[in-house]
């Protein structure tokens, strides 16, 4: 039997799995880390900490499974998207990475629009210029930390740094490159003209490859650090949403994944790139060669619940959280939560949107806060589903994914708010599975991503079904949810301006 390794560099943790060629997960290791929030609106992580955490998970999973490193035939990656990792001539990180949830580059995003114009953005980049994406973050560095900018040799996406540590090779893949805002989505190449126009150095951008291409082999040094065998082939892998969708078997139109991870994502595959009129959804390259993805993105999904739990409640266990949520009736007795704790992408593309509890009364307890956060996150997913409808995206099957899919009550809320049957797949660690599958295709173990998914991924036959009465009630709540943003938008913007005294 041969084995594949999938590494998912998430925002809250890194997970590493060993999967056999039939798709059976033999072992999983996880290491958590925090975001560094130096100032309100900032979000950074140190690539050195990522690497240390990755090393620990690789050692742990090899140890616990007892699988000899020489039997690992290929390694693939999935990674949090959009972030800016800056490395110098010696291939070392110059400073902590500015990650996707960072909001410091508001001015730079506006500047990029004014330099290249909204129509060109729509035609080439096909995505809104938004804080936390690599291009505006890099422009921020150029303006605010010129001493860092001067030292840059290459800019990478988060998981690309881990691949560099394993193989010594710099590079990226289409899924992640297309989510930097410096990429020509239709033609699948760096938008060098645009990069130059905004005053950035095109030499910073590494080569771009298919997710299934082999990037290199594990070096002797990396082998000593991790316990992997030197010479093990390593593929490029992809952004977490693309990898997660492969782990969910989303390889043909009609299948939609609903992810509640740190962020929230509604994702489907499309045969040609399309752009929503106001660029309120994302259009990126998908890992299945020659295809694209359409995605609704919510910035604080699982993050809203972990914020509530860590900062407001007293670090309850998930079992306690889910039990408390179950004790409250649908609608949280008139309490409505807007999950815009770090602004919102779909559908508002508004970095000044703010999180809100509306309708608090003396009767509300922590159980109500928990349920209402879960409901607010799913209303945000519904916004993306509605947007997919307006774009005529085929939606036959909805598959729940991410940490939030481990909660039965959150699945139940998804079925009722969306008024859809919600399925899950047999694989638990979907992003790692997607990463391992790309490695398997890269080394020739599987013919294609699609054929690997057909063999490995199974949709569980029993979905979570909506209850018509609850779904009808939630439909009314959804109208209130939508109007809450419209009615408070101006106030959110005024409050965002008051963040610094
Ligand atoms: N058992 C659970 N019950 C409820 N929510 C959960 C559970 N497990 C994880 N979550 C939610 O999922 C989030 C983490 O999801 P995950 O997909 O692991 O994140 P990431 O890939 O961003 O690191 C947590 O913030 C939490 O809100
Ligand atoms: O911002 C996006 C997608 O646009 C996220 O996919 C990030 O890439 C982080 O994802 P998780 O850590 O929540 O999985």
Residues 430, 428: Cα–Cα separation, whole Å: 6
Of 348, 287, 303, 364, residue with least CA distance to 481: 348
Strands 356-358, 189-190: pairing kind: unpaired
Residues 247, 23: Cα–Cα separation, whole Å: 10
Q: Tell me if 444 is assigned to some domain.
A: no
Of 350, 380, 384, 387, residue with least CA distance to 109: 350
At 181, list the tokens.
């805002």
**Residues 319 and 302 grouped into a single domain:** yes
**Residues 277 and 316 grouped into a single domain:** yes
Residue pair 86/155 in contact by the 8 Å Cβ criterion: yes
Which ipTM was obtained for this model? 0.96
3-state secondary structure of 315: coil
Of 426, 449, 430, residue with least CA distance to 438: 449
**Residues 213 and 333 grouped into a single domain:** no
Which of 215, 242, 269 corresponds to the end of one domain? 242
**Residues 361 and 482 grouped into a single domain:** yes
Count of Cβ atoms closer than 10 Å to residue 146 Cβ:
10
489's CB contacts (< 8 A; 6+ apart) are: 348, 350, 353
* pLDDT given at position 40: 82
Which of 198, 215, 242 corresponds to the end of one domain? 242
Q: Tell me if 362 is assigned to some domain.
A: yes
82 in a known ligand binding site: yes
Residues 456, 448: Cα–Cα separation, whole Å: 12
User: What are the residue ranges of helices labelled H in 102-253?
Assistant: 106-116, 118-120, 134-144, 146-149, 158-167, 174-177, 192-197, 220-226, 240-247
Q: Tell me if 458 is assigned to some domain.
A: no
Q: Name the active-site residue from 160, 184, 240, 383.
A: 240
Mutation pick for ligand 1 pocket among 7, 302, 303, 321 (CB with most ligand atoms within 8 Å)? 302
**Residues 357 and 404 grouped into a single domain:** yes
Residues 400, 201: Cα–Cα separation, whole Å: 40
Overall number of domains in the chain:
2
Strands 292-298, 336-338: pairing kind: unpaired
**Residues 191 and 284 grouped into a single domain:** no
Provide the strand spans (E) within 189-291.
189-190, 208-209, 214-217, 233-235, 238-239, 254-260, 264-270, 282-285
**Residues 385 and 491 grouped into a single domain:** yes
Which of 207, 242, 277 corresponds to the end of one domain? 242
**Residues 327 and 221 grouped into a single domain:** no
Q: Tell me if 460 is assigned to some domain.
A: no
Residues 438, 351: Cα–Cα separation, whole Å: 34
Residues 157, 173: Cα–Cα separation, whole Å: 9
> Does ligand 2 have an atom closer than 6 angstroms to the CB of 11?
yes
Q: What is the pLDDT along the chain (501 residues), one digit of tens a residue?
A: 889 999 999 998 999 999 999 999 999 999 999 999 988 889 999 999 999 999 999 999 999 999 999 999 999 999 999 999 999 999 999 999 999 989 999 999 999 999 999 999 999 999 999 999 999 999 999 999 999 999 999 999 999 999 999 999 999 999 999 999 999 999 999 999 999 999 999 999 999 999 999 999 999 999 999 999 999 999 999 999 999 999 999 888 999 999 999 899 999 999 999 999 999 999 999 999 999 999 999 999 999 999 999 999 989 999 999 999 999 999 999 999 999 998 999 999 999 999 999 999 999 999 999 999 999 999 999 999 999 999 999 999 999 999 999 999 999 999 999 999 999 998 889 999 999 999 999 999 999 999 999 999 999 999 999 999 999 999 999 999 999 999 999 999 999 988 777
**Residues 231 and 340 grouped into a single domain:** no
> Does ligand 2 have an atom closer than 6 angstroms to the CB of 80?
yes
**Residues 256 and 210 grouped into a single domain:** no
* pLDDT given at position 427: 83
**Residues 262 and 224 grouped into a single domain:** no
Residue pair 158/9 in contact by the 8 Å Cβ criterion: yes
Nearest CA to ligand 1 atom 26: 302
Q: Tell me if 339 is assigned to some domain.
A: yes
Q: Look at the block and give the residue holding tokens 């939508």.
A: 482
Residues 166, 267: Cα–Cα separation, whole Å: 30
Residue pair 399/374 in contact by the 8 Å Cβ criterion: no
* pLDDT given at position 309: 98
Count of Cβ atoms closer than 10 Å to residue 187 Cβ:
10
**Residues 374 and 233 grouped into a single domain:** no
State the residue range of the domain holding 376.
251-424+467-501
Q: Tell me if 450 is assigned to some domain.
A: no
Q: Which atom of ligand 2 is nearest to the CA of 241?
A: 6
Q: Tell me if 462 is assigned to some domain.
A: no
Query: What value, to the nearest 5°, has the Cα angle with vertex 127 and ends 125 and 129?
Result: 95
| 46 has catalytic annotation | no
Residues 435, 439: Cα–Cα separation, whole Å: 6
At 417, list the tokens.
């708010």
CATH number of the domain residue 135 falls in: 3.30.420.40
Q: Tell me if 429 is assigned to some domain.
A: no
Q: Which atom of ligand 2 is nearest to the CA of 301?
A: 13
């Amino acid at each position: 039997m041969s084995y594949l390794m999938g590494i998912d560099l998430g925002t809250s943790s890194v997970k590493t799995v060993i999967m056999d060629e039939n798709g059976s997960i033999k072992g999983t290791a996880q290491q958590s880390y925090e975001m560094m929030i130096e100032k309100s609106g900032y979000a950074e992580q140190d690539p050195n900490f990522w690497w240390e955490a990755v090393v620990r998970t690789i050692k742990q999973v090899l140890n616990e499974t007892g699988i000899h490193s020489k039997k690992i035939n290929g390694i693939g990656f999935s990674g949090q998207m959009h972030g800016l990792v800056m490395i110098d001539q010696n291939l070392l990180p110059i400073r902590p990475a500015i990650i996707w949830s960072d909001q410091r580059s508001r001015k730079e995003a506006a500047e990029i629009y004014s330099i290249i114009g909204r129509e060109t953005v729509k035609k080439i980049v096909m995505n809104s210029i938004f804080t936390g994406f690599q291009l505006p973050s890099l422009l921020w560095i150029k303006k605010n930390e010129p001493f860092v900018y001067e030292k840059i040799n290459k800019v990478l996406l988060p998981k690309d740094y881990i691949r560099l540590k394993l193989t010594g090779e710099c590079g990226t893949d289409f899924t992640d490159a297309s989510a930097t805002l410096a990429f020509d989505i239709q033609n699948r190449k760096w938008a060098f003209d645009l990069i130059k126009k905004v005053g950035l150095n095109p030499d910073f951008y590494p080569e771009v490859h298919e997710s299934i291409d082999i990037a290199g082999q594990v070096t002797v040094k990396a082998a000593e650090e991790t316990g992997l065998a030197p010479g093990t082939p390593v593929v490029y892998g992809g952004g977490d949403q693309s990898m997660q969708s492969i782990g969910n078997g989303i390889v043909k139109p009609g299948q939609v994944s609903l992810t509640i991870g740190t962020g929230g994502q509604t994702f489907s595959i499309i045969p040609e790139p399309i752009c929503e009129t106001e660029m309120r959804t994302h259009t990126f390259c998908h890992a299945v060669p020659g295809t694209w993805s359409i995605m609704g993105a919510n910035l604080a999904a699982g993050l809203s619940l972990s914020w509530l739990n860590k900062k407001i409640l007293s670090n309850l266990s998930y079992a306690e959280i889910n039990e408390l949520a179950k004790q409250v009736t649908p609608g949280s007795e008139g309490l409505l939560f807007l999950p815009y704790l770090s602004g919102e992408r779909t559908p508002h593309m508004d970095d000044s949107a703010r999180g809100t509890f509306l309708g608090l009364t003396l009767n509300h307890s922590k159980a109500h806060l928990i349920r209402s956060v879960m409901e607010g996150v799913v209303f945000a997913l519904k916004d993306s589903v509605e947007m997919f409808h307006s774009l005529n995206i085929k939606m036959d099957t909805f598959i729940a994914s991410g940490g939030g899919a481990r909660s039965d009550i959150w699945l139940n809320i998804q079925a009722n708010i969306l008024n859809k049957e919600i399925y899950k797949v047999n694989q638990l660690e979907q992003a790692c599975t997607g990463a391992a599958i790309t490695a398997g295709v890269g080394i020739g173990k599987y013919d294609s991503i699609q054929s690997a998914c057909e063999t490995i991924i199974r949709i569980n036959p029993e979905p979570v079904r909506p209850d018509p009465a609850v779904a009808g009630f939630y439909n009314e709540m959804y109208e209130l949810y939508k109007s809450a943003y419209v009615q408070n938008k101006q106030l959110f913007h005024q409050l965002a301006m008051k963040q610094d005294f």
